[in-house]
Structure 1
Amino acid sequence: MADALQDARDDTLATFECFAQAGMDAPVNVPMLPTVNPPLWELGHIAWFAEWYVLREAQSSAPVAAQRASLLTKGDDWFDANTVPHRARWTLGLPGAGALKTYCHEVLDRVLDKLDKLNRSADDDAALYPYRLALAYEDQRGEALAQMLQTLGVILPPRLAERTIPAWAQGEIRFPGGTIELGSKRDAGFVFDNEKWAHACYVPSFSMDSTLVNNAQYSDFIADGGYQHPQFWSAAGRQWLMQQCRSAPRDWLRDGKRWRCERFGRHFALPLDEPVRHVSLYEAQAYCMWAGRRLPSEAEWEFAALSGHAALRWGDLWEWTCSPFEPYPGFSADGYREYSEPHFMTHQVLRGASFATPLRMRSPKFRNFHAPERNDMFAGFRTCAL
């Protein structure tokens, strides 16, 4: 646990340095976009979250839940995401990068010292819960920072630049169906509240792509007028399309009869055999309608992922499903109250992981979720049929 916490903080600081080298270490130099936070604010917020739950022993995310004061005089006023509106994060008068890096180091040192003094005979899951929560949150914010690198056209840190998505043979797998347990068991250790708890779910037989839809397949959809024919799009998708004035995924650039793409501030020929990325739910649904297919449900996706089928490839990009984000039976919110409940029925489930997801966060049980219009994530999709 100590090594993982240190590793996550090292990754956070390394990613922040990419923004700093691009001149984006001050909020004034960062465009105000709905899917972006000032990297300086993110840096302080990540450390504040660990301080809140581990050092200050807060039992919930309620503003009065912490038992101790922040190490920063205005820590709560600056970094509590529940009380600091998104637009305000550009005008808070934050400390400089040097001061917030010092804060990050101080918080982590105290967290590791407290971890080292834990009573080894205590209930491990209960005692380790705040540490596991802080680690999982920092890993998630780390991936969000990587997404911001793409959005703002900033180069990747070496640890991510070295990760590539290989080409995989296209195919289809037939699954017999059956009953699985959706959700996590009570003895699974740390889980987020939307995975609670395991319950039986019957999955009818189905066929699913062995890999994600790739750029070549998606370009066929575009060439066939996929973005121009309204019959492929849902009502919400058509409205989104009109607002976006889009005729291709957000990182695609037309170059005569060919396509180029923009990745982390660099332009190059679109790799046709790579999975298509940065597509919204609406784009994934439209492709499926055009292809006479559909998105898998999250139960089908989990059934396939747990099958151990050698041809099934997942973990390169998050994958849209056809399942709205809703609670499992008997759901109750954990101390981090805003994690799941406010997003039920307005967001959509994604499963899997991406190349930017730390290995320790990858699980076939994990439920990611985003608004249907989001297309800045490292997300793609595969198709399914009965």
Structure 2
Amino acid sequence: MAVQDTDLMAPLRDARARTLALLDGLDGEALMGPRLSIVNPLLWEIGHLAWFHEHFVLRGLDGRPPLRADADSLYDSASVPHATRWDLPLPTLDGTLAYMEQVQDALAARIAGREPTPDETYLYRLTGLHEDMHAEAFTYTRQTLGQPRPRFAAPSPDEAGPLPGDVTVGGGILRLGAEREATRFVFDNEKWAHPVEIAPFRIARAPVTNAEFSAFVEDGGYRDPRHWDADGRAWLTESGATHPAYWRRGSAGWEVRIFERHEPLKPHRPVIHVNWHEARAWCRWAGRRLPSEAEWEAAALAERASDGSLGGTKRTYPWGEAAPDTRRANLDGAWLGTVDVAACPDGDSPWGCRQMMGNVWEWTESAFLPFPGFAPDAYREYSEPSFGTRKVLRGGAWATRARMVTGMYRNFFGPDRRDVFAGFRTVAL
């Protein structure tokens, strides 16, 4: 059966609709923002999206000349240094939106009414998922800068409470990563599955909550050097942090800034906007540790054998193969924020862990390294430049698009990043 143009274009159009929704309500000054190392000027970033589509599909597949003569000098992230992006002669917002529309119309026209080749299918999916990644970045940029909450939020669900306790995950052999016969889109750093031996371990049913993390703060955890390794102490000294990002003390207790508003800290939501150093410091204080990414994937996806060991197969999602929905996972920005850790009751893994998809990205102990036999795909700058300098996060966050993430998706950020939607769950010593 031929793949119609809507099969490839529908996700691209949906991704673009989310991009435009995240632009909504921002004026000219907000489209540039302050010069920070952890954000891009939004006006540059949306133009980069159009360039990425054009570069890999229209120019990469068809050899077309660029639609803008200055596109590479403006928007090629591999060659335009981050610090210079505020100084570029960028088009106006109207001019940038026109460029984005021109590229997307050309993408639709070239694929209409015919069956795409495997290379076309791969690149259309890649460019759509790339825009999904930037949509999450746009969202945490709005949070970083205290910009207004986007307007597409649905009301938050009722409180669901905590989910205490550990589960035991049996030992055995896990095939870490994606199998070669996978039919879904597979990112280069997921390739390919390889055997990893795992000893039995006990892992928390849920991520660490605000209430659990605030106990560490109140106990002087940020002031006690015993909880921090040398790199963590160096970060602590440089940052001056005394609590998680966006927290402040209010008249009735801790408050947290969510976009432009401060709200009372909800005790049973997962702690979010903590970095790898903060997660490990909490673990030392609590007598716990972070899971390795292999342990995380085993707890999330591995089937359970009758003798309690790891089975020989994995699921795509913790609950199975069905697509994510709000009973299983807090994804897609449905509520524009976290939910209680006991929410999403239909999303448990075979071992009884909840919310291993959605709500918050979860830090692991593991460095971001290539799997055996790694080779970069078409987007060569995606993974390879970051190997050895970042830590692996798993599972997706509330702002992550559901079509992008599976239980094998590997996110990666530097251990000092607090702006991303990251929390953590822990393993017993």
Q: Deviations over 1:339-368 (max 9, x none)?
A: 111111110000000000011012000000
Matched, 1:40 2:43: yes
Matched, 1:254 2:249: yes
The DSSP-based 3-state class of the residue aligned with 2:85 is helix
Q: Is the 8 A contact 1:321 1:349 kept in 2?
A: yes
Cα deviation, residue 163, structure 1: 6.2
Q: Deviations over 1:133-174 (max 9, x none)?
A: 101100001100101010011123233565669644222111
Structure 1, 185-194 or 74-83: larger mean CA deviation: 185-194
Structural mapping, 1:328-339, within 5 Å: 328-339=371-382
**Given residue 325 of structure 1, which amino acid in structure 2 is its aligned partner?**
F
Choose which of 152, 171, 175 in structure 2 pairs with 1:159: 152
TM-score (norm 1): 0.92
Assess, with a 3 A threshold, how the Cα gap between structure 1 residues 84 and 193 changes in structure 2: closer, same or farther: same
**Given residue 75 of structure 2, which amino acid in structure 1 is its aligned partner?**
F
**Given residue 230 of structure 1, which amino acid in structure 2 is its aligned partner?**
P
Matched, 1:347 2:390: yes
Q: Is the 8 A contact 1:278 1:377 kept in 2?
A: yes
Task: Measure, in 2, the Cα distance between the counterparts of 1:176 and 1:159.
Answer: 42
Cα deviation, residue 116, structure 1: 2.2
Task: Measure, in 2, the Cα distance between the counterparts of 1:174 and 1:197.
Answer: 27
Cα deviation, residue 17, structure 1: 1.9
Cα deviation, residue 268, structure 1: 1.2
Cα deviation, residue 245, structure 1: 0.6
Aligned to 1:82: 78
Task: Measure, in 1, the Cα distance between the counterparts of 2:127 and 2:299.
Answer: 30
Aligned to 2:169: 175
Cα deviation, residue 47, structure 1: 1.1
Choose which of 95, 106, 113 in structure 2 pairs with 1:99: 95
Cα deviation, residue 68, structure 1: 2.7
Aligned to 1:24: 30
Gaps of at least 5 residues in structure 2 are: 1-7, 303-348
TM-score (norm 2): 0.83
Task: Measure, in 1, the Cα distance between the counterparts of 2:162 and 2:72.
Answer: 47
Structural mapping, 1:301-312, within 5 Å: 301-307=296-302, 308-309=349-350, 310-312=352-354
**Given residue 180 of structure 1, which amino acid in structure 2 is its aligned partner?**
L
The count of residues paired between Structure 1 and Structure 2 equals 372
| Runs of 4 or more consecutive aligned structure 1 residues displaced over 6 Å after TM superposition | none
Cα deviation, residue 73, structure 1: 2.1
Aligned to 1:214: 209
Cα deviation, residue 331, structure 1: 0.7
Q: Deviations over 1:300-323 (max 9, x none)?
A: 110111143344222110000000
Task: Measure, in 2, the Cα distance between the counterparts of 1:92 and 1:162.
Answer: 40
Choose which of 123, 142, 155 in structure 1 pairs with 2:135: 142
Q: Is the 8 A contact 1:160 1:356 kept in 2?
A: no
- Give the fraction of aligned pairs with identical amino acids, expressed as a percent: 44
Assess, with a 3 A threshold, how the Cα gap between structure 1 residues 144 and 174 changes in structure 2: closer, same or farther: same
Aligned to 1:114: 110
Task: Measure, in 2, the Cα distance between the counterparts of 1:113 and 1:163.
Answer: 40
Assess, with a 3 A threshold, how the Cα gap between structure 1 residues 96 and 166 changes in structure 2: closer, same or farther: farther
